[in-house]
Chain A
Amino acid sequence: MKQKSWHINRREFIKGGGVALALPLLNGMSWGKAAAGKALPKRMVVSYIAYGVYEPKNKDGSHHDWNWWPCKDAGPLTFNKSAAPFEPLKDSVSYIRGLEHAGGVGMGGHSSGDVFATGADMSVTEKTNNISVDQLAAKVNGHKTRYASLVLGTEGGTGSYGSAKTLSHYGPGRPIPSMHRPQEIFNRLFNPYAGKGIEQVRADLKREASVLDLMMDDSKRLKGRLGKEDQQKMEEYLDSIRALEKRVERTSQWTHQPLPNVDTKGLNLEVSHKEPEEYTRCMYDLLYLAFQTDSTRFATLMLESEQSSGSEMWNYANYVLGYKGATHDIAHKRPTESGKWDNWRAKQHAYFLERLKNTPEGDSNMLDQTVVVWGSAHPHASHSTKNYPIQVAGGNALGFKHGNLHSFEGKKKVPLSNLYVSMLNAVDAPTKQFADSTGEMKEIRA
């Protein structure tokens, strides 16, 4: 597959100042041409926003302009001010009211983000969390791409129990550290050989495989010499070595496929965390590029964590809106800026969805092949862990039907995991049950 580097710069004008942010578009690399005759990729994204959303009510019963939900009643979508950025995407988005993970209810709002993508019952039976929906999909279909999955965040690492900085987990006690530095993400995705020639890379990998084999033996011996409690810790290490071995094998196989030729021109990988819009869009751009080059098909993106007091996220509402408090306070104090903050977040997410939609793939576009969840496990100001704000977008070609607000409140209540079961089935990871699910969500995907 021959590719040209990007030479079309799309200029995006961002707020005020007239600062132009040039964004790259891959030219001549769309799947439509590249993969003629092949099955199109089926993708999944779970993304997370923290500290709740604004859900005010008008006294006269009409829908509030700045409520996170685009409209009041179940049925066809109309868009208020807060959700306006999604209006052009009307046929590609759905909102679902009344969902939550029962397993996260007892955790408190600042901790329930841990289980957003896993649905684990962390307050009682699954204290160390459990496998996340993206990883389950990656287990089944991850071998089809160079990387099984992509785990992104804005703060990086795993966080600790009750204050996760990642959405993805391999399984109980196995959080996957999220990556948050654009340059690093770019290098790992598109420059994995660090400039080495392919023959050398293969030789290195072969050698590495034999060395890892030896390391495994040695570590097993060490494990045998440890106390019982500590053996479990060593099992963690052994698992990691095993995973590395698999990775080496996988990387070797992929050396037979050319790396996508991606140019950084116009992509500001050195963007500072102090520039919320540029930074957030850069993360979305990297995710887009990973999909567009079919480097991976399953991704999570923790846009904000529920415990961000030690990071720049704490100040984003200030940088973006000039709001005088911390980003966290915008949920608890509900100033008038709350709606504008939601609106800003909506703009960034809509930008990502639109980029997918504007990229042709097969007979339609990338968004139709990608189901994207966007929401939070900390719905509003009261540390509530019920009735999450949930938006589902894309995946029209995977069977998703959009354009409506669905309500599962009261007697119609079903677990959020039902949506995940539908998503897993949509990306060819046949699933009967996930976490506490009771079935599929037929309303959104028949």
Chain B
Amino acid sequence: MNFSACLNRFIFTTAAVTIVSLAEVGLAKGFPSGKAGFESHVKPFFQTHCVECHGPDKSKGKITVHSLDGDLAAGQELERWEHILDALEHGDMPPEEEDRPSAEDRAAMVKWIESGLRDYVKKASKVAVETTTRRLTNIEYQNTMRDLLGFELELIDDLPVDPDKPYHFNNTASFMMVGPDQLVRYKEAASKAMASAIVDPEKPKIHRTSAKWEHGKPGKGGLTRAEIGIYQGPGMGSKTVGLKSWPKTGEFKIRVKASGNIPAGFKEVPLRLVIGTSLRHDSGSGTYQEVGVIHLKNTPDKPKEFELRGRIENIPVQPSVTHRNKVLPPSITITAQNIFDNGELNDHRKSGFDASWSTEAPRVVLESLDFEAPVAEVWPPEHHTRILFESPLRKTNSGKYAYEVIKRFMTRAFRRPVARDEVDHFYRVYKIYDAEFDTLEQAMRETLAMVLISPQFLYHTVIDATAATRPYELASRLSYFLWGSMPDKELFELAASGKLSDPAIIASQTRRLLADDRAESFVKNFTTQWLSVTKAKTVNINRDLFPRFLYTVHLGERRGQEQLFRPTIRDYMIEETIGFVGELIKNNASVMNIVESDFAYLNEPLAVHYGVDGVYGLKHRPVRIKPEHRLGGLLTHGSVLVGNSTGSAPHTIYRAVWLREAILGDEVKPPPAEVPALADSAGDSAEESVTIKDLLALHRTKESCADCHVRLDPWGIPFERYSAIGKFQPMVPKDGTRVRGFSLKADKTLDGYNKYLKKIFNIEVDASARVPHGPMVDGMPELKRYLIKNRKKDIVKNVIRRLMTYGIGRELTYRDRFEVEKLLKQAKEDEYKLQDMIVSICQSPTFTGEKPKK
């Protein structure tokens, strides 16, 4: 018999349940710990309050208590005990409509379970711990290669996609598996990397392509030959240059001479260079790599030269195609784009090319573009001599030289000093290659590629915990936590000197690492996975209801679909969330800013979207906000609101799940099998039914649904005044209303359009709900107030647990509970400052792997 089937059987226990207050049996006065207390007090408590739903007859939420034997010291069923402890502590259980134990009884129960757990954890420190050996995540792999080799290669696309689970981190040891297929890809990626890292001795031929455009008299469309307007054809304005030839590997540079033709009222114009296949806005085909963005402020009378660099290997090449019976050779195209965006582009578009807006908006003036590859100012390049270092040994004793090359490379690749037998091993591998290849370069490429598929490189390992390697493991832990990459020279040196485990050194290193650019990788990976925000990119926006939100293609096959090949408002929303968390870390601000803050992290299109004035340009920055903006914290971020919407309406359940998982740290179970869907319980089709709130009310009337939804939905309802596109929208149009886009003819100005919207948005949104075990909450401000006042501890604890989980690369268990409690206490002393919190985590024994000092 499986659990979920039980869930659906509505069998009510016929056994008479005697309601006994535990105060009567003396529980409130405290009671014996261990097994004795279990028999005398815990068992009666379970009988009275729990067994009806979590016993032999029913097992709601797949939890039962009747079979627990109360012997925590034996280490049995501790996960289950922790689960019960959490439910009691949060006051989640027993549910509100049942007879509830007194606060005293509950506290006594909490105390009894906690002390049992604590005793066990203390005693059991010798018992097996969870797996921490895990392979590098794809992003760690790529970052490590970058820092090991000294240049940036895109390798992620060549590896199987990492596992991905909402609200979980993909560096979790138990998720990270290696199979033969994975290994094949690692081998290919390693060969590719080594082919680039070690060059051939003779200086290569330099490939060049140049183009010039005259910034003379404006042509028919009002633009000069050198100008790029914001619209040209179906997509954004751009100029292209096809490369005549290019090398297989190496660094490239692109030099442009450019300026901005910036009408009054504007401050800058962004020029973005991308490189790859030709980009077809009509059919949507094309792949590219961004080379860089230049925010142009200089005027056409003062053109400036700018230089951008990248790697040839990362460029997507258009493969050879047959066109009209002619075979076209492979090609690479550089596309220079004007990605100006003030959040209003949709308001200035008639069908086709709107010349007036194109000449009224800032234009890029691109007078010349020069491509050159490979960059060979120094030959061989630094990344080559880093491996095949200059030494007379190469001529005098080539074997010894090879041995030394391998040893140096391994030391960095393995992130620790290497043992003699390890080097000997790869020297043997080298000998096999050496026998067959003509040059040292060739043999070394193959040998070092094998180093890069060895487990010592691919895995985070803890090797028999000898004192000698331990400091290096800590160095790696720190760097993979805060950089997603290998340690740098300073960390290695500290590890070698034996000073790294000093808490003061850990603190200063943590802050140093966080201040480095490489920490961006941590902030991005941690934030996007913790908050599960990237799905905002794939929510299908209802363009009838929100005609202004996305920039669409206005002609051709993809008419009406979102424009491709440009950063969009949804990218900016995700950047907002990442950047916001980054700001909190950088400024060591209180973690409670995630609920409410006095700043938002915006660029111009986002500010326009949210209704904040005075923000110009595409770069995000902290912006002071006022209450009437109805922003602040993470809860109102577009990425959160869009990602947890249906694209047409707010999705109450998704938003509730998000709040509970990401902010409160609850684990929300997925809907069990055989529970009727929302639509089934409320009528035939959700489309035809009333609002989601009403629908949910109906859903909750079914017992099978109610069990979970009663504790879920109220958390999502206060978000209802924020629309599917993440805007504050207290009034909505009647169901089925079609909202037209901006019309120059009818509206004249944006204000005119807003008046139109106001007219049709005439139904008030109800956003009030009583939060479980809490008060009535109406809308976002009251929800935030409640969270800050009543749930601060849960929120801070959640962030600590998330950081810790990410930092150590495994799920936390009941063993880690008391360590988290300590960190929580420390956080309180530090006024919940986020950077301090990360420092404390890095110093904690769980993270360092040191045995706690008694």
Q: Assess whether A211 is interfacial by the CB under 8 Å rule.
A: yes
Q: Is the CB of B4 within 8 A of A105?
A: yes
A-contacting 9-mer, from B240-248, B429-437, B715-723, B758-766: B429-437
* Chain A residues whose C-beta falls within 8 Å of the C-beta of B463 in the assembled complex: 222, 225-226
Among the 9-residue stretches B144-152, B502-510, B681-689, the one with 4 or more Cβ atoms under 8 Å from chain A is B681-689
Q: A residues 57-98 with Cβ under 8 Å of B?
A: none
Tell me the bound Cα distance from A149 to B786 in angstroms.
56
The verdict on A334 contacting B685 (CB below 8 Å), with A160-B163, A382-B674 known, is: yes
Q: Is A247 an interface residue (CB 8 A)?
A: yes
Q: Does A405 contact B (CB under 8 A)?
A: no
Within 8 A of A (CB), among B424-467: 425, 428-429, 432-433, 436, 450, 453-456, 458-459, 461-465
Q: A334 contacts B539, CB within 8 Å?
A: no
Contact between chains at B646 and A326 (CB < 8 Å): yes
Are the CB atoms of A19 and B177 closer together than 8 Å?
no
Tell me the minimal C-beta distance from A392 to chain B in angstroms: 24
Binary A-proximity of B333-364 (CB < 8 A = 1, otherwise 0):
00000000000000000000000000000000
A437 within 8 A of B: no
Instruction: Contact check, B161 vs A165: say whether CB atoms are below 8 A apart.
Output: yes
Select which of A163, A174, A219 is within 8 A of B165 by beta carbon.
Answer: A163
Residues of B within 8 A of A430 (CB): none
The dominant DSSP class at the B interface is: loop
- Is A207 a contact partner of B436 (Cβ separation < 8 A)? yes
A219 in complex: contacting residue of B160, B455, B540, B673, CB < 8 Å: B455
Q: Is A139 an interface residue (CB 8 A)?
A: no
What 1/0 mask marks residues of chain A from 248 to 282 whose CB sits below 8 Å from any chain B CB? 00000000000000000100011110110000000
In the bound complex, residues from chain B placing their C-beta under 8 Å from that of A174 are 177, 179
Which B residues touch A314, using CB under 8 A? 535, 538-540
A403 within 8 A of B: no
A47 at the interface (CB under 8 A from B): no
B674 touches A386 (CB 8 A): yes
Instruction: Take A218-B422, A230-B131 as given contacts and tell me if A236 and B538 are in contact as well, using a CB distance cutoff of 8 Å.
Output: no
Q: How far is the CA of A336 from the CA of B425 in the complex (A)?
A: 65
Instruction: Return A410 CB to nearest CB of chain B, in Å.
Output: 17
Q: Cβ of B462 and Cβ of A207 under 8 Å apart?
A: no
Give bound CA distance, A331 to B3, whole Å.
Answer: 25
Interface size class of B (residues with CB under 8 A): 35 or more
Which residues of the other chain, B, contact A334 by a CB distance below 8 angstroms? 679, 684-686
Q: Which of A36-44, A107-115, A341-349 contacts B (4 or more CB under 8 A)?
A: A107-115
Report chain B residues within 8 Å CB of A197: none
In the complex where A240-B182, A335-B685 touch, is A159 in contact with B164 (Cβ < 8 A)? yes
Contact between chains at B429 and A211 (CB < 8 Å): yes
Contact A275 B284 (CB under 8 A): yes
Residues of chain B with a CB closer than 8 A to A229's CB: 128-133
B177 touches A230 (CB 8 A): no
Contacts of A333 on B, CB cut-off 8 Å?
678-679, 685-687
Give Cα distance in the complex from A186 to B214, angstroms: 45
Give the shortest distance, in Å, between B428 (CB) and chain A (any CB).
Answer: 6
**Is A236 in contact with B670, judged by CB distance below 8 angstroms?**
no
Which of chain B's residues 304-351 have a Cβ closer than 8 Å to chain A? 319, 322
Give every chain B residue within 8 A of A399 (Cβ-Cβ): none
Q: How far is the CA of A272 from the CA of B187 in the complex (A)?
A: 27
Q: Are the CB atoms of A177 and B540 closer together than 8 Å?
A: no
> A156 within 8 Å of B by Cβ?
yes
State A156–B161 Cα separation when bound (angstroms): 6
- Assess the A384–B674 pair: CB atoms within 8 A: yes
**Whose C-beta in chain A lies nearest to the C-beta of B134?**
A233
Q: How far does the alpha carbon of A155 sit from the alpha carbon of B165 in the complex, in Å? A: 14
* A158 with B461: CB separation less than 8 A: no
**In the complex, chain A residues whose CB is within 8 Å of the CB of B164:** 159-160, 163, 310
The contact sample of 21 A-B pairs, CB cut-off 8 A, is A19-B557, A110-B671, A157-B160, A160-B163, A160-B168, A177-B181, A210-B432, A214-B425, A214-B429, A222-B455, A236-B178, A244-B184, A270-B277, A274-B561, A310-B534, A315-B540, A326-B646, A332-B679, A332-B686, A333-B687, A335-B686
Q: Which residues of B contact A (CB under 8 A)?
A: 2-5, 128-134, 160-166, 168, 173, 175, 177-184, 187, 277, 284-285, 287, 319, 322, 421-422, 425, 428-429, 432-433, 436, 450, 453-456, 458-459, 461-465, 534-535, 538-540, 542, 544, 557, 561, 646-648, 670-680, 684-687
Q: A270-B277, A272-B284 are in contact. List 15 more A-B contacts (CB 8 A).
A: A157-B160, A159-B164, A162-B165, A176-B181, A177-B179, A219-B454, A226-B133, A228-B128, A307-B166, A314-B538, A318-B540, A324-B540, A325-B648, A326-B647, A381-B680
Q: Rank and list the top 9 A-B pairs by shortest CB-CB distance, nearest first.
A: A157-B161, A160-B163, A243-B180, A177-B160, A230-B133, A106-B2, A381-B677, A333-B686, A385-B673
